[in-house]
Amino acid sequence: MEMELTSLQKEFNNCTLDYDLERFNWPAWALGVVQEIAPQVTKLETLHEVISPKDIVTVSRHVQNACSRKDFMERFDAFVAEYIPQRIDGKRFMIQRQGTLRVVIPNQASVSRRLAFHQGIFVGNGRGCRTIWTPFTEARGTNTMWMVDVENSRRITKQVMAEKWSLERMEDECLKHAFPITLKPGQSHLFFQEMLHGNVNNEEGYTRVSMDMRILIEGEEYGRRNPGGFMRLPGDHEVAGEADYTGKSAITYAGWNSKFSNQIPLPMQRAIIEPYCVKNKIEYTSYEFENEHLDWMPGLEHYIKEQPDVIVLCSIYSMTDDIERRKELFNLALEKGVELHFANELCSIKTRKDLDKIETYLNFAVAKKDPHVWELV
């Protein structure tokens, strides 16, 4: 039996969004950022003519990092506020913290990996996420994104999972049903995560540059795109490196005492904590950790009572899963004047308002609500 689309899916069922290009001139923004490190580039479409494939990777990374600048986040917040609420029944939403940039040069398959067909769920996007795909150059023919309609996407996905298809077989089947998305600057393409999509080899003779951003709808599934980390609230423009904690007493803290953190080895937690400390000039004196299985976190309680100025944790999701106990520890930190910092989410608890924001992130959505299409009998 075919699954009907919900009201929250219909406006993202391979829909075109026309936007005000004069107000939201993403192509001009992208070109300006490219020219910060490659001033010889005068058109995004001819990027490949003046930059080597190796250097294109550097330029792409530079533009993608620019998507986390405050000015970009403020502009994208305004863009989403203008065009998206009416498409999701006015529900609250979060926005991807950093956009994903795509640079597809002519004949990209000969020099780099062509983006294979996939669906968002396969790369960690929950079904509560919606994608806003925005080309900065004309997108057509072989240099654009190719989509598979929702019915065929669901059918193919069920077969892939049931029969354990190879990537090649999945690719061949997708190409039988895929179609190119034709857009020009001033347009975005909207779709939800079950839809299979990918690229074919670019034979159009010019470079395609695009950005995909996602939103997360309140109460829906986030998959692996945790609120606060991958997703942020509109207006939350926290950027690591803005603070200076030189001279403040600080420790770092890690542990395996939540569903989230018990899958992350201590060295990986510390690899997230370390750059946050460097950027914020937090000079910690020790690495502390919680004993395994002590999910009420007596160690963290002890360190808070010792009253260092700062304790840096990997993530807000490293806190105990016991909601009341988590609130006790947060309130104790406020009472003792200890700042709890969370490296993955670039946030901290200094005031009651900070605590309210973190609780919003922790309660905004769920990892999974319903069976996936391939799990249905």
Give the Å distances, CA to CA, from 288 to 120, 253, 313.
37, 5, 10
The stretches in the chain having pLDDT less than 50 are 1
Give the Å distances, CA to CA, from 339 to 197, 250, 282, 314.
44, 9, 12, 14
- Are residues 260 and 294 both part of a single domain? yes
CA dist 297 and 184 (Å) reads 53
Of 167, 197, 232, the last residue of a domain is 232
Q: Do residues 129 and 94 touch, judged by C-beta distance below 8 A?
A: no
- Are residues 81 and 149 both part of a single domain? yes
Q: Which residue has the tokens 């940039």?
A: 101
- Are residues 255 and 175 both part of a single domain? no
- Are residues 106 and 205 both part of a single domain? yes
Question: Nearest 5°: phi and psi at 96?
Answer: -55, 130
Q: What number of other Cβ atoms are within 10 A of residue 315's Cβ?
A: 22
Digit-coded pLDDT (tens) for 182-228: 999 999 999 999 999 999 999 999 999 999 999 999 999 999 999 99
351: in domain: no
DSSP 306: T
pTM: 0.94
Partners of 197 in the β-ladder: 118, 147
Percentage of residues in the chain having pLDDT higher than 90 = 90
CATH code for the domain of 54 = 2.60.120.620
- Are residues 192 and 259 both part of a single domain? no
- Are residues 181 and 255 both part of a single domain? no
356: in domain: no
Q: How many domains does the chain have?
A: 2
Digit-coded pLDDT (tens) for 109-165: 888 778 999 999 999 999 999 999 999 999 999 999 999 999 999 999 999 999 999
376: in domain: no
| Domain membership of residue 47 as a residue range | 7-232
237: in domain: no
372: in domain: no
293: in domain: yes
CA dist 227 and 218 (Å) reads 10
CA dist 105 and 135 (Å) reads 14
Q: Which residue has the tokens 């923004």?
A: 29
